């Protein structure tokens, strides 16, 4: 295990959604079968990219290169003998540093967990290893998956944030260091960084992928970042097959293979809290996406056109505060433990979350649960009317490092505004973000949200959009 190299300078990339060539894996396995390529060679190419990009990107907390090479060699032998364990056998993958890995520490972006190293694999890490994937390293998270940022920079502009909390997972995929990485989301921690880093990403239906030891927040999920839709789906499906969903949940529904692209008949446009805050160029770019959808015969249900959609909009109009308050209440006892044990080492923004939780009563929390349940009822009411929902995945491209755009009240937030992201979290709804736009040479995603358990259906719609809707490039 090696710690990540320290910061150096390196060249910056300019992003174009049509021109960007992501690192993919699903199309490499044919070479593994034919003998023209091997998982070990694939890994070495990833390591070469990491050596080149990591000094600036700083997406990794630590890596187990020796273990990865050993796993890649074992995978190479399996592909050679025609006995791969799964379609992702040999795939190098990054794991957000909130989730336990038996061969690497789990530092959680907090100095309090610097020496934390349980010798266990989180359920999905265990599943990935069983599927033959090469668990290469741990990726940077904000402090405990909340607001306080780590060192990671945006792979397309090192002066900008990669987003958070899954900062490293998004950045290492955007920088083509690995084809996929695991993130987690409780407010907007998968979809926003994916948008900022040009990833495909799946934030699945609540409970669809096993969160292992991290069951403490009632609407958090794990999610998958990838360069391409196929790899995104394959990773999710292989995890689901082996680790199932959270306890008490039925797990991910859908085929083992990536769902084929499928044109939706009707999509609703969801504004949520994000639209009023959306930057003009991003708004214009998204409207071009909507026009392209309309031009291809997709009926669009717009805000104000339907009472059920209006009711849903009203329910997600304060999704951010609802999500933040629920988390603050749910996590207060574990933060209290950190303070009892360490006193210091906790950021001001985390302390602000604790104060929020401390000020809440059980009845306050029950009322949040009621609101969340009502919002979910309103989402379900739209099932007969639309095949899915579309919205920008962020209010604009990644802001400059240190910009406090996402700050709410006393909780300082510098990894970009999550206004478009909390809605799917409180709804427990699946979302796929598609890297379909560029604004000022930086990526901005389009998100497709569905009903609970429609993960495969929205992945199919997202793939259709990627194939049929021309990428949009706008000046910043």
Residues that bind its own copies (CB under 8 A): 102, 119-121, 123, 126-127, 210, 212-213, 215-219, 240-241, 243-244, 247-251, 329-330, 333-334, 336-337, 340-341, 362, 365-366, 369
Q: What are phi and psi of 200, to 5 degrees?
A: -80, 145
Smallest gap from Cβ 448 to its own copies, in A, equals 25
* Least spacing, CB of residue 293 vs its own copies, in Å: 34
Closer residue to its own copies (CB): 38 or 106: 106
Min separation Cβ 341 and its own copies, Å: 5
Tokens of 342: 């360490």
Kindly state the smallest distance separating residue 95's Cβ from its own copies, in Å: 15
Q: Among 59, 66, 65, 69, which Cα is nearest to 96's?
A: 59
Q: How far is the CB of 217 from its own copies (least distance, A)?
A: 6
User: Which helix (H) or strand (E) segment is 281 a member of?
Assistant: helix 280-295
- As a whole number of angstroms, the distance between CA 216 and CA 221 comes to 11
> What are residue 439's DSSP bridge partners?
442, 474
What contacts 361, CB < 8 A, 6 or more positions away? none
Question: Least separation, in Å, of the C-beta of 210 and its own copies?
Answer: 7
Residue number with CB closer to its own copies (170 or 326) = 326
Closer of 132 and 471 to its own copies (Cβ): 132
Tokens of 369: 């649960």
| Closest to its own copies by CB, 167 or 210 | 210
Q: Which is nearer to its own copies, 266 or 333 (CB)?
A: 333
Alpha-carbon distance 354 to 330, whole Å?
Answer: 10
Tokens describing residue 160: 């900008």
- Is the CB of 367 or the CB of 468 nearer to its own copies? 367
Specify the residue, 124 or 197, whose C-beta has the smaller distance to its own copies.
124
SS percent in the chain: helix, strand, coil, step 5: 40, 15, 45
**Residues, the chain:** 476
DSSP of 292-344: HHHHTT-EEEPTTS-HHHHHHHHHHTTHHHHHHHHHHHHHHHHHHHHHHHHSS
Task: Tell me the closest approach of the beta carbon of residue 424 to its own copies, in angstroms.
Answer: 16
Q: Which two tokens stand for residue 41?
A: 């060679």
Tell me the two tokens of residue 420: 């478009």
Q: How far is the CB of 351 from its own copies (least distance, A)?
A: 17
Bridging pattern class, strands 431-439 and 472-474: parallel
104: burial class by Cβ within 10 Å (0-12, 13-18, 19+)? buried
How is residue 221 written in tokens? 């999920």
Could you say which DSSP state residue 48 is in?
Answer: H
Nearest distance from residue 72's CB to its own copies, in Å? 20
Nearer to its own copies, 57 or 125 (CB): 125
- Comparison of 296 and 366: residue with beta carbon closer to its own copies: 366
Give 251 or 258: the residue with its C-beta nearer to its own copies: 251
H or E element: which one contains 391? strand 388-392
Q: What is the DSSP letter of 187?
A: S
Dihedral of alpha carbons 345, 186, 59, 128, sign: positive
Q: How far is the CB of 307 from its own copies (least distance, A)?
A: 29
């Amino acid at each position: 295990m090696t710690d990540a190299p320290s910061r150096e300078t390196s060249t910056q990339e300019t992003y174009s959604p049509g021109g960007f060539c992501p690192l993919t894996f699903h199309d490499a396995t044919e070479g593994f079968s034919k003998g023209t390529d091997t998982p070990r060679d694939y890994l070495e190419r990833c390591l070469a990219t990491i050596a080149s990009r990591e000094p600036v990107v700083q997406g990794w907390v630590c890596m187990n290169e020796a273990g990865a090479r050993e796993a890649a060699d074992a995978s190479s032998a399996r592909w050679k003998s025609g006995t791969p364990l799964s379609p992702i056998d040999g795939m190098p993958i990054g794991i957000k540093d909130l989730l336990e890995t038996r061969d690497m520490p789990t530092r959680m972006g907090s100095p309090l967990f610097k020496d934390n190293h349980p010798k266990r694999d989180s359920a999905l890490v265990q599943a990935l290893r069983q599927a033959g994937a090469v668990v290469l390293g741990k990726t940077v998270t904000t402090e405990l998956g909340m607001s306080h940022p780590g060192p990671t920079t945006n792979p397309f502009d090192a002066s900008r944030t990669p987003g958070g909390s899954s900062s490293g997972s998004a950045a290492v995929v955007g920088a083509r260091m690995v084809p996929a990485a695991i993130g987690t989301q409780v407010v907007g921690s998968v979809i926003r960084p994916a948008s900022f880093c040009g990833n495909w990403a799946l934030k699945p239906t609540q409970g669809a992928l096993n969160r292992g030891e991290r069951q403490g927040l009632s609407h958090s999920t794990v999610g998958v970042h990838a360069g391409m839709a196929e790899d995104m789906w394959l990773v999710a499906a292989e995890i689901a097959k082996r680790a199932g969903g959270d306890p008490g949940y039925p797990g991910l529904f859908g085929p083992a293979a990536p769902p084929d692209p499928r044109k939706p008949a009707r999509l609703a446009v969801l504004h949520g809290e994000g639209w009023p805050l959306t930057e003009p160029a991003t708004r214009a770019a998204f409207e071009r996406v909507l026009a392209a959808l309309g031009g291809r015969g997709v009926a669009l249900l717009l805000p104000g056109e339907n009472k059920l959609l209006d009711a849903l909009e009203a329910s997600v109009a304060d999704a951010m505060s609802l999500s933040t308050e629920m988390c603050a209440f749910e996590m207060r006892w574990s933060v209290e433990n950190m303070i009892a044990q360490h006193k210091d080492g906790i950021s001001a923004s985390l302390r602000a979350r604790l104060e929020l939780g401390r000020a809440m009563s059980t009845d306050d929390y029950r009322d949040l649960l009621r609101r969340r349940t009502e919002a979910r009822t309103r989402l379900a009411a739209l099932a007969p009317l639309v095949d899915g929902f579309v919205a920008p995945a962020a209010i604009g491209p990644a802001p400059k490092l240190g910009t406090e755009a996402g700050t709410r009240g006393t909780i300082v937030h510098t990894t970009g505004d999550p206004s478009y992201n909390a809605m799917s979290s409180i709804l427990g709804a699946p979302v796929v973000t598609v890297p379909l736009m560029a604004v000022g040479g930086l990526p901005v995603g389009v998100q497709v949200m569905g009903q609970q358990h429609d993960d495969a259906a929205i992945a199919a719609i997202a793939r259709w959009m990627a194939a049929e809707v021309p990428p949009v490039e706008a000046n910043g």
